Amino acid sequence: MTNIVSPSILSADFANLERDIKLVEKAGAQWLHIDVMDGHFVPNITIGVPVVASIRKITNLCLDVHLMIENPEKYIEPFAKAGADILTFHYEAAKDITGLIKLIKSYNVKAGMSIKPKTPADVVIPYLNDLDLVLVMTVEPGFGGQKFMKDCAEKIPVIKENAPEGLIIQVDGGINAETAGICTSFGANSLVAGNYIYKSDDITLAVKSLF
Ligand code: DX5
Ligand code: ZN
């Protein structure tokens, strides 16, 4: 089965964002991964609502928005209205997980929940029937270009064993053709990659190597 490839624009050239989005679109990527960071939940600040709204105007790719922010409940409506197709919040930042999932779905947006490297896999199990996606971070969130942590990927089988059919299991952090293979063998079917795609000499080939 083909994997869902979600290139992370964090590693793209922000001054040439449209060009860089079109490159991965042409290469066949199905999703576009947008990393939202608030300088509180993670020590970095990146993209906000207006940028997502602008991206929505220039692509039909599925906008896979990864919220690395405190108080995610405050920002669901603005990101949904900006055109996000998937909103993934962090378990560690959520106060009312069931309420947050319901809120996301009320905008007809798919709901994802992510866990940081030190968070055990079993915390997601009670929510698997309500979620559309679980994102297993394979680096500490905050920056692109970090080294893949295999022990994080070892959480995937625990999620997979308990997952209803159709749940998307995504990995993010240090993904390349080799580490993607490890993750898919564990049961992941959606691969986020930033540096591997955007810092490669042949972006098309890099995208295709992940399917
Ligand atoms: C990191 C972000 C990632 C990042 C991945 O906190 O969530 O999406 O862009 O970058 P690479 O693939 O370079 O590790
Ligand atoms: Zn991400």
Q: How confident is the model at residue 102 (pLDDT cuts 50, 70, 90)?
A: very high
Task: Give the tens place of pLDDT for each residue, 22-78.
Answer: 999 999 999 999 999 999 999 999 999 999 999 999 999 999 999 999 999 999 999
Amino acid residing at 10: L
Q: Which CATH class is domain 4-208?
A: alpha beta
| Nearest atom in ligand 1 to 37's CA | 6
- Spans of all domains in the chain: 4-208
Cα(34) to ligand 2 centroid in Å equals 7
Instruction: Decide if pLDDT at 18 tops 70.
Output: yes
Q: What is the DSSP track for 149-174? A: -HHHHTTHHHHHHHPPTT-EEEEESS
Tokens of 177: 């053709």
Pocket test residue of 35, 170, 203, 207 for ligand 1, highest count of atoms within 8 A of CB = 35
SS3 assignment, position 110:
strand
Q: Give the mean model confidence (pLDDT) for residues 139-151.
A: 98
| C-alpha to C-alpha distance for 161 and 121, rounded to whole angstroms | 11
Q: How confident is the model at residue 1 (pLDDT cuts 50, 70, 90)?
A: low
Q: What is the mean pLDDT of the chain?
A: 98
| C-alpha to C-alpha distance for 31 and 3, rounded to whole angstroms | 11
Tokens of 9: 């624009």
Instruction: Decide if pLDDT at 134 tops 90.
Output: yes
Query: Is the overall model pTM greater than 0.75, yes or no?
Result: yes
Residue 168, CA atoms < 13 Å, CB-side half-sphere: 23
Q: Give the mean model confidence (pLDDT) for residues 85-95.
A: 99
